[in-house]
Chain A
Amino acid sequence: MTADAQRRTPAPPAGTYLGMPKFQKNAKPALANEQLRKNLRHATGTIRAKRVARVSEVPEWEELRRAGEAIKNRTLRHLDTYLVQLEESLVRAGATVHWARDAAEANRIVVGLVQAKGVDEVVKVKSMATQEIELNEALEEAGIAAWETDLAELIVQLGHDRPSHILVPAIHRNRSEVREIFLREMKRYGTAAPEDITDDPAELAGAARRHLREKFLRARVAVSGANFAIAETGTLVVVESEGNGRMCLTLPETLISVVGIEKVLPTTADLEVYLRLLPRSSTGERMNPYTSMWTGVTPGDGPQEVHVVLVDNGRTNALADPLGRPALRCIRCSACLNICPVYERVGGHAYGSVYPGPIGAVLNPQLRGISHEIDQSLPYASTLCGACFDVCPVRIPIPDMLVHLRKEVADHKKGTPRVEPTAMALAGWVLSDRRHFELAQRAAGLAARVLPHTTHLGPMPWPASPWTRARDLPMPPPESFRSWWRKNREEGR
């Protein structure tokens, strides 16, 4: 931990997201971790039940979803118009607007702004965009400490960990793990946790309050994201629960907001749709405890220097594919993660991105491209069960998009000597024509006649091993249906 000694903030785990192996490999240790499985089952089950209860209170839910879908479609299909309008409104309201083509540029801008203020620390509101561009590490490299202030982000940061969920980044940790992290780490970075602290969530939240309060009271610069950015007024919106967002957005003198270009909404009125869709889908609440809206600089109230960094970082790639575009409707509610049976069993780390779960499986390959193993594997990290679409508040057709991206991956792999394209070509030949199919059927029937007393096959070598390691495989019966049909229906008809 010598490198740690020179750092201002806890070091994240070694390695990069893009260097991660494919999903299947990452899933293995997660599945073997009983504690993790238990934490995830409990947490996703709890939040699913809350969501259902709150959504069922709204009779026009489906109408709301369709409005949420349509407004985002309108915005995305005319994104240039709305971005220019947003910029004009922000400038009129006293904000400075910056544009960043990619993560590196966004980080350079933010680091430069912080350095210009002559400070060596910032407080941060939970923000997916800053996680995506890995801003904290860029600031750390510049000698600037970025303090995460959302409780779950704090647990992740102090735990030298990575987020595993969009809404609840520490969903993979249980209370006793959180207690250990707080006891071990808080004292190294500020106010210590009380030595006699228990694992009661209320006590742990109390420790976070004390640990962060001194940081809130002294911070001169804050960094946030935004859930929505209103083009007509230049208003940014942050939806949160704990008040850490309000602290960051209100107390420091300078506020830097890093906002993905897809976050824009045309009008203030549009908020009525999303402020109903988001909390019920996300935390399963009628409304989240706090929502802050601010429009540039308000004289005498809050930060008097306001910057907005509009980030592309791959979003225009997704926008360019009409079949991929719907992913940009995402309002980061996490309902698709919570309902996903795959996510529930492996958690978020296996997805190799700050965007895990079904939305991550469609978003990452579009934002980052499909040249890395992890991004090639993500579209296949789903059974296509369709539960994610049912709960998505903006009706993103995730299963259809996964299939579309699988085609992109398959096309990308074409011509490379691999087992799968060959197997698919062979099976394609068998099933493309009745005569080929019947030939193959006879082969299957032959196998059954060779092993006349076998009804099921147990563990078998590859290529059957992935199936038969834990599952028996029924033997094909000696007589196919079409053979029976010929004998019993066609003859004599």
Chain B
Amino acid sequence: MNAREEILGRVRTALADVTELDPVADVPVAWEYGRATAMADVLARFVETTEDYKATVVRAPAGDVPARIAELLAGAGVATAVLPSGLDDAWRAAIAASGVSVLDDEPQLSRAELDRIDAVVTASAVGIAETGTIVLDHAADQGRRALTLVPDTHLVVVRADQVVSDVAEAVARLAPAVTDGAPLTWISGPSATSDIELSRVEGVHGPRTLLVILSE
């Protein structure tokens, strides 16, 4: 018997006590999915929790976003930035005009090339207020996963209408992308470790600087 058949056979033998064949009828789950978590001000909470993770957060009217991007990149000393193909043209123009050397990922940059680039600028899919999390679904305005991983600075723009209260609402919004096969990256602050004496250190392998613009 092959391993697959044998393991499934073991599982079925092990579950001889289970007589109800419908999983949902067999074990009810008393949980209402996709609920919002009540909070006074979702956007304010998002800013608070994201800053709590040592990310820099700037709130800006949508029209000011290009200017804010340029300022933040300059403030971080960014000389080179890679931009995903679907990034907002106005943002792209502002970055180029600010003197930052702009690279595209077409054809795809090698790992070594990515490693020499200072920053990446992207949009996002969802922001989660309660946890200070930004989720990328790697659509064209966010690019493939390596872009937001290898460069040491990640500037990400989250639209106010993308911010939800908590994880449950976020999962509900993201489920269609998962079904479509899109990878997701959930980011809560810059990379961090607590592996030495449980002492939190920000900045290990992922981008050590996370800059967030909340576009309203």
Which residues of A are at the interface with B, using a C-beta cutoff of 8 A? Answer: 39, 42-43, 46-47, 50, 63-64, 66-67, 70-71, 73-75, 77-84, 87, 93, 98-101, 105, 149-152, 155, 168, 170-171, 173-175, 178, 201-202, 204-206, 208-209, 212-213, 216-217, 230, 233, 235, 241-244, 246-247, 249-251, 261, 266, 268-269, 271-273, 275-276, 279, 283, 285-296, 298, 300-302, 310, 312, 316-317, 319-320, 322
Bound Cα distance from A266 to B190, whole angstroms: 31
B3, B188, B195: the one within 8 Å of A289 (CB)? B188
Chain A residues positioned under 8 Å from B7 (CB to CB): 83, 99, 101, 261, 310, 312, 316
A100, A272, A292: the one within 8 Å of B184 (CB)? A292
Q: Does the CB pair A101–B3 fall under 8 Å?
A: yes
A39, A175, A247, A291: the one within 8 Å of B205 (CB)? A247
Whether B17 sits at the interface, judged by CB under 8 Å, is: yes
Whether B18 sits at the interface, judged by CB under 8 Å, is: yes
With A66-B31, A208-B204 given, name 4 new contacts (CB 8 A): A99-B4, A151-B196, A246-B206, A286-B49
Bound Cα distance from A273 to B170, whole angstroms: 12
Q: Does the CB pair B196–A292 fall under 8 Å?
A: no
Bound Cα distance from A212 to B15, whole angstroms: 44
Whether B64 sits at the interface, judged by CB under 8 Å, is: no
Bound Cα distance from A90 to B149, whole angstroms: 25
Whether B201 sits at the interface, judged by CB under 8 Å, is: yes
8 pairs, CB–CB < 8 Å, chain A vs chain B:
A46-B197, A74-B24, A151-B204, A201-B196, A201-B199, A205-B195, A205-B201, A296-B181
Contact with A along B114-151 (1 / 0, CB 8 A): 01000000000000101111000010000011100110
Q: Does the CB pair A244–B29 fall under 8 Å?
A: no
Closest Cβ of chain B to A68, distance in Å, is: 9
Q: Which residue of A lies closest to B146 (CB)?
A: A250
Bound Cα distance from A174 to B197, whole angstroms: 6
Closest Cβ of chain B to A230, distance in Å, is: 7
Bound Cα distance from A280 to B32, whole angstroms: 20
Chain B residues bordering chain A, tally (CB within 8 A): 77
Chain B residues positioned under 8 Å from A73 (CB to CB): 27
Closest Cβ of chain A to B91, distance in Å, is: 21
Which residues of B are at the interface with A, using a C-beta cutoff of 8 A? Answer: 2-4, 6-8, 10-15, 17-18, 23-24, 26-31, 33-34, 49, 52-53, 108, 111-112, 115, 128, 130-133, 138, 144-146, 149-150, 166-168, 170-172, 174-175, 178-179, 181-199, 201, 203-207
Q: Which residue of A lies closest to B183 (CB)?
A: A294
Closest Cβ of chain B to A396, distance in Å, is: 16
Q: Does the CB pair A151–B49 fall under 8 Å?
A: no
Chain A residues positioned under 8 Å from B26 (CB to CB): 74, 77-78
Q: Does the CB pair A320–B131 fall under 8 Å?
A: no
With known contacts A155-B195, A285-B188, A244–B27 Cβ distance under 8 A: no
Bound Cα distance from A140 to B28, whole angstroms: 46
Closest Cβ of chain A to B66, distance in Å, is: 27
Chain A residues positioned under 8 Å from B196 (CB to CB): 151, 155, 170, 173-175, 178, 201, 204-205
Bound Cα distance from A98 to B7, whole angstroms: 11
With known contacts A70-B27, A208-B204, A293–B191 Cβ distance under 8 A: no
B132, B149, B178, B189: the one within 8 Å of A246 (CB)? B149
Q: Does the CB pair B8–A84 fall under 8 Å?
A: yes
Q: Does the CB pair B191–A70 fall under 8 Å?
A: no
Q: Which residue of B lies closest to A39 (CB)?
A: B197
Q: Does the CB pair B195–A301 fall under 8 Å?
A: no
Q: Does the CB pair A268–B178 fall under 8 Å?
A: yes
Closest Cβ of chain A to B183, distance in Å, is: 4
Closest Cβ of chain B to A325, distance in Å, is: 8
Q: Does the CB pair A202–B3 fall under 8 Å?
A: no
Q: Which residue of B lies closest to A297 (CB)?
A: B181
